[in-house]
Amino acid sequence: MPVSIPDFNLLVTLDVLLAEGSVARSARRLGLSPSAMSRALARLRETTGDPLLVRAGRGLVPTPRALELRELVGQLVQDGKSVLRPVEKLDLDQLDRTFTLRISEGFVENFGPDLIERVFAEAPRVRLSFIHKLDRESTGLRDGTVDLEIGVVGKTTSPEVRIGALYRDRLIGVVRCGHPLSQGDVTASGYASGRHVCISGKNPGKGAVEEALKSLGLERNIVTLVAGFSTALTLVRGSDLIATVPERHTGNLRAGLHSFPLPFSLPEVMVSMLWHPRLEASPADRWLRDCVRDVCGKLT
């Protein structure tokens, strides 16, 4: 059975008729003859099953159904024009918007000041809202509550999400200055025999570090679990705990601490930007992604 395709031009006609309250004035506004406009009104009445505009004296007044439709029709027409009009040139001086970025702990501490400064210098009315990423689900990108996400692409990342690489990172060890591991070269056995603080939710005891140590016949002693990198490094400052964290992602957080390469080989990870396809062509969102890419690329 053929699918009946609605004539969306009727929405424009109805919008004008409801605004003008006159067939003649509506016809002039749309560049139609009065008879053509009358035929369009007849089609609208047939399609909606309502008179829409009825005679009152020398003019027409909207029916209750037409009053219900007025605001909705007007919005639909405006939305349709927005979809079909050419993309306007982005005016950063006038851009007034809050962008929500979903990030892991450490991103704001390392990249936040430069990113905020860059954004403010180019678009002084723009605000950035940073929310912590507690998992790798793409729900926020899909439902529009998140504009941009920063992180490592995982198996649970939705397949339709767009991805842009930012930088490579690697895991390193961190201890307080004066810790035994801050003196000389660190061996795998020396690293494993220490007391470790790990990030909860990062598969403690089952990750890449454990696999690498297992291949050497070693196992590290995880004595503390915390919610994020900042807390882990705070504990390291006042104890003999060892933290294993991404190097670039925690640069500022590690100030005043001793960092060392892990004494075994691990693959690097790629940190990326993720966004929903509906924001692919948005000039404002493309500008934001350029800002993030430039700021992250400056860190060496």
Sign of the alpha-carbon dihedral angle for 12, 16, 17, 18: positive
Per-domain boundaries in the chain: 9-84, 98-166+277-298, 171-267
Helix (H) or strand (E) holding 46: helix 34-48
Cα–Cα–Cα angle for 159, 165, 167, nearest 5°? Answer: 140
Contact 94, 125 (CB under 8 A): yes
């995880």: which residue's tokens?
A: 222
The pLDDT of residue 259 is 97
pTM above 0.85, yes or no: no
Contact 90, 287 (CB under 8 A): yes
Dihedral angle computed from the Cα positions of residues 156, 159, 165 and 171, in that order, rounded to the nearest 10 degrees: 20
What does each C-alpha distance from 2 to 5, 10, 16 come to in angstroms?
9, 21, 31
Alpha-carbon span 80 to 72, nearest angstrom: 12
Domain 171-267 fold is D-Maltodextrin-Binding Protein; domain 2 (3.40.190)
Same fold, 9-84 and 171-267: no
Tokens of 62: 């909207």
Is the domain defined by 9-84 classed in CATH 1.10.3720.10? no
The pLDDT of residue 134 is 66
The pLDDT of residue 201 is 66
Alpha-carbon span 17 to 34, nearest angstrom: 12
Domain 98-166+277-298 fold is D-Maltodextrin-Binding Protein; domain 2 (3.40.190)
The pLDDT of residue 14 is 87
The pLDDT of residue 2 is 55
Alpha-carbon span 208 to 227, nearest angstrom: 19
288: left (phi over 0), alpha (psi -120 to 50) or beta: alpha
Helical spans, DSSP H, in 150-300: 188-193, 208-215, 229-237, 283-298
Question: Per-10-residue mean pLDDT for the chain, 300 residues long?
Answer: 67 86 88 89 89 83 86 78 69 94 88 95 96 74 89 79 92 96 94 93 70 94 91 95 94 94 93 90 93 81
